[in-house]
Chain A
């Protein structure tokens, strides 16, 4: 199946290319004697929401950090679209359409909301005198205009216009999470990794965030891969769920299939629950 053809809902918001498929193939990751990931394989379908769940220490964040490029797997590969990016440095993956948020909010303190979001568009700008000569002022102006347009849309979309000039330090937690998502969207991603997007949020904030994630996926056709502990939210918004336990994939499928899987029930509730 041709991913670019299948994953093209009309993305009215952003002038981006549609979501790319992401595949993790037989990834092995070790830290000294600890075998953090063992032959992990799964795929995130283009333009869909895929979730990774699992108990604490199952290796969820390790998977994310390997996809981002912070960890080099001992074996296996990461495919972004058709390209093997296993050995591509972290910063170069941004240019290939990979964006992420962090479990602990990673905004630049001391900068305003808008400045933080603008940094998301950083990699799209050809800076410096040489490239200005090479690409010409017209291309540059066009790029600037497109960037401003994306920033405006992202800010409208996430309903953070009223705080755009505030410093991020003073914002409530839920809004900070939203600004971090905005910055990731300003990167015009084709694959978006969300590390616990609703951790620590109250019911209302969680519902808002779930709605934003679905809108991002539906309107812009971005491939979304998320790690989350809030089961209700995962089951509501994901089309595909991957379950990790002790660094291995123990189940994957639709939310309904995964919920009924005996090994998943065991991992979450203990062996007695299965026997009972």
Chain B
């Protein structure tokens, strides 16, 4: 029983970072209708910049973290202006291919600069573990979950109550009407890319500083697809709940069926749920007239 509790707890806690990555996808999809395949590479680039800042330039972790956020934010502004805005109005597939192209450029650039080795960047958060009765929770797991929870809570509040958050929701739902109400749609879409990029960077740095840094980090974003499909691509709340569920399923599967099963079992579970709820748990139900 305590074994099951331990797996469950670790799984749900590790689902927090998964939720951040999922949020990075959902923000873009909701705000601009684009499935951004470069999320994993953004995470990876952010993490490598953090590594370079701390290890190569000897900056303190928080300064390096801030710089990585700044660079990725500016990069998002540039990409939105130079790549995505010219593509607006083009078929979704064209934009999707552009994000895949950007992903390869970043991936290749990172491998060319830092190689394929695994590095261990310094941790951002204290490593004090927590003992809960018999269960030991590593400090990084706890810290990552806390940061993810704070950030996600902040985002939910931002979208619910702030003027800018409401403007972003209006733009996502109907850009034409939003513009006639005086909302600057270009600005809203730029902000969406910046926010998504910042969230991805935070996730990347958290993962790298707890699990090590290599180009494989980008693949972590792909494993989030199980959660995205389950939660519905256009639901922030769905992405969060689904990430926690997928984290839990992964940890329990890995605990009882062996480490390899963690890549398979979540998809089997998601597939089973999709048969019953094809739009995901929280996704928007669309009715197509034939």
Q: Which of A90-134 contact B (CB under 8 A)?
A: 90-95, 99-100, 102, 106-110, 115, 118-120, 122-123, 125, 127-128
In this complex, how many residues of chain A approach chain B with their Cβ under 8 Å: the count is 28
* Chain B positions within 8 Å of A93 at CB level: 180
Q: Contacts of A52 on B, CB cut-off 8 Å?
A: none
> Is B177 engaged at the interface, CB distance under 8 Å to the other chain?
yes
Q: How distant is the Cα of A86 from the Cα of B289 in the complex, in angstroms? A: 39
14 contacts between A and B (CB under 8 A): A90-B180, A91-B179, A91-B182, A91-B183, A91-B185, A106-B174, A108-B169, A108-B173, A108-B174, A115-B166, A122-B163, A123-B182, A123-B183, A187-B182
Is the beta-carbon distance between B167 and A122 smaller than 8 angstroms?
A: yes
Report whether B181 and A123 are in contact in the complex, using a CB–CB cutoff of 8 Å: yes
Q: Is the CB of A99 within 8 A of B180?
A: yes
Q: Contact between B164 and A122 (Cβ–Cβ < 8 Å)?
A: no
Contacts of A109 in B (CB 8 A): 173
Contact of B181 among A89, A128, A187 (CB under 8 A): A187
Q: Please provide the chain B residues from 209 to 241 with a CB less than 8 Å away from any CB of chain A in the complex.
A: none
- 7 tightest A-B CB contacts, nearest first: A123-B182, A94-B182, A127-B163, A90-B179, A106-B177, A91-B184, A91-B179
Closest-CB distance, B262 to chain A (whole angstroms): 36
In the complex, are the beta carbons of B166 and A106 less than 8 A apart?
A: no
B181 near A122 with CB under 8 A, answer yes
CA A241 to CA B214, docked complex, whole Å: 70
CA distance A122 to B252 in the complex (A): 48
Contacts of A110 in B (CB 8 A): 173
Taking CB atoms and an 8 Å cut-off, the chain A residues in 126-144 that contact chain B are 127-128
**B residues in contact (CB < 8 Å) with A:** 162-164, 166-167, 169-170, 173-174, 176-177, 179-185
Q: Is A68 an interface residue (CB 8 A)?
A: yes
Known: A91-B179, A127-B163. A119 touches B170 (CB 8 A): yes
Which residues of chain A are within 8 angstroms of B185 by Cβ–Cβ distance? 90-91
- A127-B163, A127-B164, A128-B164 known; A120 and B181 CB under 8 Å? yes
Are the C-beta atoms of B181 and A119 separated by less than 8 Å? yes
Measured in the bound complex, the distance between the Cα atoms of B179 and A106 in whole Å is 12
Contact with B along A67-79 (1 / 0, CB 8 A): 0101000000000
Contact assessment for A108 and B184 in the assembled complex, using a CB-CB cutoff below 8 Å: no
State whether the Cβ of A183 lies closer than 8 Å to any Cβ in chain B. Answer: yes
Q: Return chain B residues, CB-CB under 8 Å to A106.
A: 174, 176-177
List 15 additional contacts besides A100-B180, A109-B173, A115-B166; criterion CB under 8 Å.
A90-B180, A91-B182, A91-B183, A91-B184, A91-B185, A92-B184, A93-B180, A106-B174, A119-B166, A119-B170, A119-B181, A122-B182, A123-B182, A127-B164, A128-B163
